[in-house]
Structure 1
């Protein structure tokens, strides 16, 4: 059985699995209302872990203006649909948002009364650190208490009337200076329509198949969907990169405990992890990230 660890404080030196109902629940934030999130983690900078994984339900009340980030994101559209400007992300689509790339505005698609999105934020090739949720919430609270300005519909409005992206304003408050965005490697975000990919058998793991959605940069993200037949198993292992596995459908057993959707499994680099067994036919979203100074990620090690 896994030892209980606070995934937002650490230390994280062994695998951590967080069920959706165990996540840190958050409601309206700097983006305003129309959202409810469960934040899984994971934060332990001493061991090179600084990412933000979570699942969020949005309603049409929420609106995000066009903006960009200093870090990167992988997003999976779990239920419903969401608009990125003219692009519509349908259920099952996956999006990679590279550092420094503008996107949006984003909102729940008109035909939906809500949409559910799974997100993973992490440092990109430039190494700019990802703000973790306790930092964001603390900064937002202080900005309101000090009456620095006003949060309104995804924007931060300064006393002189100047408008700024709300998350950018929060992040600048955290770092204490104006943000210097990395020069983007990509012209735009990348949409992966998983329905157009083929399942490929995973060598050495009977009953397991993979959709190779995308492999980016020297250290990832390396993004895959993994399908497991009931009773199938992925082997135990120990690798020099970080892995996040999200249970999308079905149920798995790991270290004697069962996990249903949407549970989040985090395997730190260099930590031994146990075999994962499918209790029923199961689909997982897998994202792998290399450590700074490490060799390029292998294409397919699960």
Structure 2
């Protein structure tokens, strides 16, 4: 599969799936569909003070990159700009709220080590529409018209889309992990002008999160044999395949693919995520 490069600057905001709560808009970046291989990467805008989502958990992993504003994830957890959160499968987080205006994040959702079967918005939206004929989504839960027990909104739509009962994996972490990227130091890379930060590795399937600082004219190859790699331009601009890739754009290299990027600004920061391998 060819390497993908996506710049959302020309895209318009669209409403996210309504299985959870109003007040979430997205600009799609990357999406891969397929049993055991699905993931979704979007720039996400959370609305004003009316936005709220209950404390919940998922059967997949999430990585959330704070871009603008601040999102509250419960009484003592916040995701401001330049903080990256890892929300593991099976781990509760939230409730979510914002204050002082909208917040902006880049959110990557994908199968974790438990391989729960991530369902992207294309399939989730169809299932959500069908469930609206049979019940009501309210405050993050689906309430069936027949008076049955309320179900988590995502769980209800996932089960409708897959025809299976959702099994939540045993949580490996009590809480989400928040990484304050500016507290990590840049480390030289093999004599190259590019510098790197390793933010964390999680689980036996090789999920890792890191960053690269790419000066103007310096080059970096993204991708590794047998691995799927997502890169996000946090600041600055790089060039890939002869095209400019600006701030808040994304690149994807799958399996045997690799993409060479070259710095096009004084300094460009890339967040690089190596997705779990199931080989």
Instruction: Name the TM-score, length of structure 1 as normaliser.
Output: 0.85
> Segments of 4+ in structure 1 off by > 6 A?
none
Partner of 1:228: 214
2:166 corresponds to which of 179, 194, 200 = 179
Question: Aligned equivalents of 1:261 and 1:178: distance in 2?
Answer: 40
- Residue 98 of structure 2 corresponds to residue 113 of structure 1: no
**Alpha-carbon deviation of 1:102?**
0.7
Structure 2 distance, partners of 1:236, 1:285, is: 11
Question: 3-state SS of the aligned residue for 2:151?
Answer: strand
Task: Tell me the SS of whatever aligns to 1:99.
Answer: coil
Range with bigger deviation, 251-260 or 175-184: 175-184
Shift of 1:163: 2.7
**2:155 alignment partner, SS class:** helix
- Contact 1:243–1:286 under 8 Å retained in 2: yes
Matched, 1:189 2:199: no
Counterparts of 1:117-266 in structure 2, within 5 Å, are 117-144=105-132, 147-159=133-145, 160=147, 162-206=149-193, 208-235=194-221, 238-266=224-252
Residues 92-144 of structure 1: CA distance to partner in whole angstroms, max 9, x if unpaired? 11111111111110111x3x201001111111111111111101111112222
Q: Classify 1:246/1:162 alpha carbon distance in 2 versus 1 (closer, same or farther; 3 Å).
A: same
Distance 1:244 1:89 in 2: 21
Structure 1 match to 2:83? 93
CA distance 1:130–1:204, change in 2 (3 Å):
farther
Query: What is the alpha-carbon distance in structure 1 between the residues aligned to residue 33 and residue 22 of structure 2?
Result: 29
Give the Cα separation in 1 of the matches to 2:162 and 2:92: 21
CA distance in 2, matches of 1:38, 1:167: 20
Q: Is the 8 A contact 1:71 1:130 kept in 2?
A: yes
Name 2:32's counterpart in structure 1.
43
CA distance in 2, matches of 1:139, 1:44: 16
Secondary structure in structure 2 of the residue aligned to 1:45: coil
SS in 2 for 1:248: strand
| 2:29 paired with 1:32 | no
Distance 1:50 1:22 in 2: 25
Segments of structure 2 that go 5 or more residues without pairing to the other structure are none
Conservation of the 8 A alpha-carbon contact between 2:140 and 2:152: yes
Tell me the CA shift for residue 162 of structure 1: 3.5
Inter-CA distance 170–37: structure 2 relative to 1 (3 Å threshold) = same
From the two aligned structures, give the one with the greater strand fraction: 2
**Aligned mates of 1:205, 1:44 — CA distance in 2:** 36
Partner of 1:14: 2
CA distance in 2, matches of 1:130, 1:215: 21
What SS does structure 2 have at the residue aligned with 1:174?
helix
